[in-house]
Homo-oligomer: A and B are copies of this chain.
Amino acid sequence: MSLPFDGAISRFLAEDAPHHVRAALDGAGTKEIVTPGYPYDRWMAKADYECELSALQLELVKLQHWVRRSGTRLVILFEGRDTAGKGGAISRFTLNLNPRVARIEALDKPSEDEARQWFFQRYIERLPQAGRMALFDRSWYNRGVLEPVFGFCTEAERARFFVQLPAVEQMLIDEGMHLVKLWLEIGQAEQLRRMLARERDPLKQWKLSAIDVEGLHKWHAYSAAITDTLARSDFGFAPWTVILADDKHRARLAVIRKVLSSVAYHGRDDALVGVPDPAICGGPELRLGNGRG
């Protein structure tokens, strides 16, 4: 069985990658951070990470229990560039949760019929009912970032999206949803490194889509679309949380802590939950803080 994108990533590294990206990867150890300006040099040690993670798991289970009992509706959006770690963060989050309570919503590209409906409709249909949570692996923000970069929507459609967006999110909140919007941010060299790893690992090759491969060449268009999108959708009533996700361990812990600290569930162990590490977790300004964006 031949692979879908034989060597496209290595070729990009060899031929097209900017010099600073190539330099950053050169000789970098696997757990070494290659993104300039990242507040840590290396990934958090695995043992520490696992220890914290498993303590937090119990809090997630309490959160779930409370969501169910109180009839809460919790919506969490996981956004970020390809390879930013959305899927991995979601699977750690849901590891001990009940799939009948915590649903993962990974919507496909719109079908022909869906493409003719109101853009938000298929998302609205998948909002959680009382006592449930929905974790969206990508969301309506595709229309802010990915779709324009790939030409999947027109400029007019994107403009309309931004006009409707505040009203739609306001409604969700009016309807009693808790909405947490997470942006996982990674650097250009780190993204390339992860794609190279996927290219080499037969298990992960499926994760490489045409969109990822093409996306490599569109780093700057993406950056502009992201900066614009976050600026225009960081509403007081529905703010963005940006998590610097070059270190997957720290990022996953921050994701979980962010959600836990956003919801005042019964029995929360505040000492344990604490606050997400402010060095890697903040508002949209964090993204721009260190030469990203």
Binding site for B on A (CB under 8 A): 1, 4, 54, 57-58, 61-62, 64-65, 87, 91, 95-100, 103-104, 106-108, 111-114, 116-118, 121, 124-125, 127, 129-130, 137, 160, 163-164, 167-168, 170-171, 174-175, 202-207, 266-267
Contacts and interface: CB of A to CB of B under 8 A. Distances in A.
Copies of this chain held together in the complex: 4
A164 B160 contact: no
Given A99-B106, A137-B99, A167-B164, A175 B206 contact: no
Most buried by B among A117, A118, A121, A267: A118
Nearest to A205: B61
A183 to B, nearest CB: 19
26 contacts: A57-B203, A58-B202, A58-B203, A61-B203, A61-B205, A61-B206, A87-B99, A91-B95, A96-B203, A99-B137, A100-B108, A100-B137, A104-B104, A118-B124, A118-B127, A118-B175, A121-B124, A124-B124, A125-B125, A160-B174, A160-B175, A163-B174, A164-B170, A164-B171, A164-B174, A167-B167
Given A62-B1, A174-B163, A204 B96 contact: yes
A176 to B, nearest CB: 10
A199 to B, nearest CB: 14
A142 to B, nearest CB: 12
Contacts of A99: 87, 104, 106, 137
Nearest to A163: B174
Contact of A1 (B65, B113, B124, B160): B65
A171 B175 contact: no
